[in-house]
Amino acid sequence: MSSLSPALGRFRGTAITVAYRAENGIRDVLARVAVSRGWTPAAVPHSGYASDQHARVLGRIVLAPASVDPGASRGIPGWRRLLTLECPGAQVRIQLGDTTTTATSDAAGIIDTRVPLDSPLTPGTATVHFRVGERDEAAATIHVFSAAPVRGVICDIDDTVWITGLAHPLRAAWRTLRGSSSTRQIVPGMSRVITTAIDGQVDPGVVYLSNGPWNFAGPVARFLQRHDFPAGALLMTDWGITPKRWFRDGQDHKSTALRRLVEELPHISWVLVGDDGEHDPELYKDLANDHPAHVAVIALRQVLPPAGKGAVEVDSVNGVPVLHGADGDALLPLLREALRAES
């Protein structure tokens, strides 16, 4: 059996490489056809964040008909949002306050760039402008966090903010691919949890971190706004084959994003909000072990709570309180107590 393992590994690696090249080849053929019919690169900016020295600017470049704004579609099923034609290697002009720079989209058409600021932005919100070729400018919000010590929130989306049911893959796929922001079911009380976590803070950091694809950024943002969640930056990922994997590594995506936020914003103490359906408990506890001064509280929604219990006892990791509750209504009193103890 052991002698077969290297051979199976090589076969798997070869299969992934072939599939990755085939996917890119098909995209390139479709892109040439689209360009021949007048399609041009278009920017779909996403909500980013900034502090006093730098900003993280996010977006995606896709091919679209000249008369179509690819970021304006609403109310369409999730599966249709996956039918985009990404545009790698596109040059994008970015303007944010007094700062102007350029960036190049990656192999998935994504722009994720750290922009040093020529002058500080006023805390609150700012507008970043994207220009690609002769297209009209596209704009998105940059959330400018306080430059002084402040508390912030990093919050998961699936099964934390809205019901996805990742423990039941077929059901989760149906909700994701068939539904829209208006059909998704909220997890009770979670908007109050996020609001309470930043209560009394001046220009706090709020970041929503998801393993969902950037194609769904619009529905996620509209859902959060509709249900009164505090406005914040949105960090998502790209689905599909990579040069080394059949699927993107969601655990690595979240771990990298968490550590980048701690490194870029060392003055923010984070309340980490997630659920126990996937990797949030391990990722959050690892961060608390490595950076206890940067984690104020961990709050975890129980996807399958113990029978007859709305919440279990509070535990801790490296001195950081870890709260467990069936939903936001169960977590809220535990969070209030933890924040009182911290203060």
**How confident is the model over 191-210, as pLDDT tens digits?**
999 999 999 999 999 999 99
Compute the chain's Rg from CA coordinates: 21
* pLDDT-derived band at 1, boundaries 50, 70, 90: very low
Confidence (pLDDT) at 28 = 77
Assess contact for 209 and 217: CB atoms under 8 A: no
- Between 204 and 172, name the one with better pLDDT: 204
Lowest mean pLDDT among 137-141, 168-172, 338-342: 168-172
Side-chain-facing half-sphere of 85: CA atoms under 13 Å = 18
**Which tokens belong to 97?**
């306050």
State the average pLDDT over residues 7-22: 66
* pLDDT-derived band at 7, boundaries 50, 70, 90: low
Residue ranges in 98-138 assigned as alpha helix (H): none
Nearest alpha carbon to residue 271 among 219, 327, 186, 201 = 201
Confidence (pLDDT) at 337 = 95
Q: Is residue 48 over pLDDT 90?
A: yes
Counting Cβ atoms within 10 Å, is residue 182 exposed (0-12), middle (13-18) or buried (19+)? exposed
Confidence (pLDDT) at 233 = 97
Q: Is 135 found in the same domain as 221?
A: no
Q: Is residue 32 over pLDDT 80?
A: yes
Distances from the Cα of 199 to the Cα of 192, 298, 338, angstroms:
10, 16, 13
Confidence (pLDDT) at 278 = 84
pLDDT tens digit string along 53-77? 999 999 999 998 887 777 766 555 4
State the average pLDDT over residues 237-257: 74
* pLDDT-derived band at 172, boundaries 50, 70, 90: very low
- Between 181 and 235, name the one with better pLDDT: 235
Confidence (pLDDT) at 84 = 77
Q: Is 200 found in the same domain as 312?
A: yes
Confidence (pLDDT) at 146 = 96
Give the position of tokens 């369409």. 76
Q: Is 123 found in the same domain as 98?
A: yes
Q: Is 128 found in the same domain as 164?
A: no
Q: Is 119 found in the same domain as 78?
A: yes
pTM, two decimal places: 0.85
Confidence (pLDDT) at 86 = 87
E strands, the chain, are 40-50, 54-64, 91-96, 99-104, 110-116, 124-131, 138-144, 150-156, 206-213, 233-237, 268-275, 295-301, 315-317, 320-325
Confidence (pLDDT) at 245 = 59
Nearest alpha carbon to residue 232 among 316, 146, 165, 154 = 154
Q: Is 56 found in the same domain as 170?
A: no
Q: Is 162 found in the same domain as 262?
A: yes
Q: Is 248 found in the same domain as 217?
A: yes
Q: Is residue 181 over pLDDT 70?
A: no
Side-chain-facing half-sphere of 159: CA atoms under 13 Å = 24
Residue where a domain stops, chosen among 144, 166, 201: 144
Q: Is 173 found in the same domain as 48?
A: no
Residue where a domain stops, chosen among 101, 127, 144: 144
The whole domain housing 1 covers 1-37
pLDDT tens digit string along 143-155? 999 999 999 999 9
Q: Is 256 found in the same domain as 338?
A: yes
Residue where a domain stops, chosen among 111, 126, 144: 144
Say how far apart CA 213 and CA 65 lie, in whole Å. 22
Percent of the chain residues past pLDDT 90, beyond the cut: 61
Lowest mean pLDDT among 98-107, 205-214, 249-258: 249-258
Q: Is 199 found in the same domain as 85?
A: no
Confidence (pLDDT) at 35 = 82
Q: Quote the mean pLDDT of the chain.
A: 85
Assess contact for 54 and 115: CB atoms under 8 A: yes
pLDDT tens digit string along 313-329? 679 999 999 999 999 99
Which CATH number is 277's domain given? Answer: 3.40.50.1000
Residue 172 neighbours by CB under 8 Å, 6+ apart: 158, 164, 165, 166
Confidence (pLDDT) at 30 = 81
Q: Is 326 found in the same domain as 179?
A: yes
Neighbour count for residue 279 (Cβ, 10 Å): 17
- Provide the domain count of the chain: 3
Assess contact for 227 and 341: CB atoms under 8 A: no
Which CATH number is 72's domain given? Answer: 2.60.40
